[in-house]
Amino acid sequence: MSPRTNHNSSGGFAGPWLEVGGLWLLIVLSGVLLIAGLLDHWRQQELQTIERAQLELTLREIQGELEGELSLGTELQHHPRIQRLLESYLRKDPQLYSLDVLDPDGRALFSTDRGTVGEPLPPLARAAALQGAQRHQPWHALIESTPLMGVDVRTPFGETAGHVGATYASRATDYLSEPMLTPALLFSLLATALAGIAAIWLATAPQRRLRQALARGRLAQIEAQLAATGQRLDDGSQRLDAVERIE
C-alpha cells in the first residue's frame, strides 16, 4: 500500500470519530447546563420556602395578638397598641421593610411606613388578600418588585376583620422571573463549548484539506480524461478525412 493511500485511510477513519466526539461533547455540555439550571431552580425554591415560613411565623404572632384583642371587643381601627406592636416586630427582623394592618378591603389602618396609612393595596395585591382570606391561607403578591406576604385576622365569630401584611427583602431570587443561572456559570459553560468546537475544528482541519485536495485531484483527473477523449475524437476525425481524400 502506498503512503498516500495509507494517509487517506487513516484520515478517513479519524474524521468521523472526531465529528462524533464533537457531537457528544455538545450533548454533554447541554446536559450540564440543564442539570445546573434544575439544581439552581430547586435551590431557589427551597430558599423561598424557608424564607416564607420564617416570615409566616412573625405574621402569625402578630395575628394571634390582634385576634386576642378582638376577642375582648376592641376594634382594629381603634386599637391603641397596634402601631407600637408593629414597630417592635419590625426592629426584630432586619429583613422586613414594613408591617401593615389592613382592613378587610385592603386599606392600610396602621403601618410602620406612615405614608401608606389610608392607602389601598394595588388591585392584584388586594385580589390576593381577598383570595387568601377566603381560603384561610397566607397570601403573596408583588408591589412593583417588592414581595408582599400577609395573613388574615379574624373575629371570634370567624369573620374577616382585616389583614396583617409585610413587605420584605427576599434573599432568594424569584425563579419565575429571574435567570436561573449565574453569569459566571453561563460564561464558563459557553467558554467550554466554544473551546470544544474550536478544538474539533482544528483537529478536523487536515481531513478537510485532504478532502478538498482529493476533490481537486478528481476534478483535474476528469478534465484530463475529457481532454484525452477530445484528442482521440480529433485524431479519429482527421483519419476519416484522410481516408475520404484517398478514396
Distance of alpha carbon 70 from alpha carbon 105, whole angstroms: 18
Judge if pTM exceeds 0.85: no
pLDDT at residue 59 tops 70: yes
pLDDT tens across 88-109, in order?
A: 999 988 889 999 999 999 999 9
Nearest to 141 by CA among 151, 61, 160, 171: 151
Say if residue 65's pLDDT is above 70: yes
**Which one-letter amino acid corresponds to residue 3?**
P
Of 122, 53, 112, the residue nearest 82 (C-alpha): 112
Strands (E), 122-159: 139-143, 146-154
Compute the average pLDDT of residues 31-46.
72
Note whether 57 and 148 are within 8 A (CB).
no
The answer to whether residue 49 scores a pLDDT higher than 70 is yes
pLDDT tens-digit map of 162-206: 999 999 987 665 444 444 455 666 666 676 667 667 666 666 666
The percentage of the chain sitting over the pLDDT mark of 90, rounded to a whole number, equals 23
